[in-house]
Chain A
Amino acid sequence: DTAVSQTPKYLVTQMGNDKSIKCEQNLGHDTMYWYKQDSKKFLKIMFSYNNKELIINETVPNRFSPKSPDKAHLNLHINSLELGDSAVYFCASRRTGGSYNSPLHFGNGTRLTVT
């Protein structure tokens, strides 16, 4: 009954490769996110995706591209991986709209190591 699930949990790859991380939520939420957590535990927003509207953090390189086949899935594709891409990537979802927003629900993360 996992609410937000990500695969794989660990990903080790070489510089220059292209890789994808998958995310699925079964909470019926309408908005999904990708966050990057660096070695100092700082969570930084990368993308928000709601009803086919994509909001991109301007600091994210265009080698990163989210793809959403439907409301329950938001995948992250990364091209030409670099050493600095090594981090833990978290998928999250929430129900938005109205005066107050519900909390984010996070997956357990994908630890990406680029060698």
Chain B
Amino acid sequence: EDQVTQSPEALRLQEGESSSLNCSYTVSGLRGLFWYRQDPGKGPEFLFTLYSAGEEKEKERLKATLTKKESFLHITAPKPEDSATYLCAVQGNNQAGTALIFGKGTTLSVSS
């Protein structure tokens, strides 16, 4: 069964304190790994798609990387506006209906 595990569940950082979020996955035939950001009261907002091991994507202070077993979302010098829940999801060959399977998310709080 396809599975996504995110750690830590919650992370508190000081402004400027860099860190990484982890997404471990088990999937039959990875077709894509997706990172989303979710703010309170809003729907998840797409950040990145990674397709193969070794791939990296960057956007402002965020950088996503992918290996055959996990993905990392690196946050460099975070600001309070980066506070949100970050969700990881996978698309595998066995998922009927092309639905994404999500992890439980990491809630990031950045204080000034």
Residues of A near any B CB (own CB < 8 A): 4, 31, 33, 40-45, 47-50, 53, 55, 90, 92, 94, 96, 99-101, 103-109
Contacts and interface: CB of A to CB of B under 8 A. Distances in A.
A45 B100 CA distance: 8
Contact of A48 (B44, B89, B97): B97
A107 B98 contact: no
A106 B37 CA distance: 11
Given A45-B101, A90-B43, 4 more contacts: A31-B97, A40-B104, A41-B107, A45-B97
- DSSP class of A's interface residues: helix, strand, loop or mixed? strand
A74 B44 CA distance: 18
A43 B99 contact: no
Given A48-B99, A50-B97, A96-B98, A109 B104 contact: no
B42 A109 contact: yes
Contacts of A104: 34, 44, 46, 89, 100
A42 B104 CA distance: 5
B42 A101 contact: no
Contacts of A108: 41-43
A42 B102 contact: yes
Contact of B43 (A4, A31, A40, A103): A4
B43 A106 contact: yes
B99 A55 contact: yes
A21 B50 CA distance: 32
A50 B98 contact: yes
B104 A41 contact: yes
Contact of A100 (B43, B51, B107): B51
Contact of B98 (A41, A94, A106): A94
Nearest to A102: B49
Contact of A43 (B41, B46, B102): B102
A48 B100 CA distance: 10
A89 to B, nearest CB: 11
Given A90-B43, A103-B49, A43 B34 contact: no
A109 B46 CA distance: 15
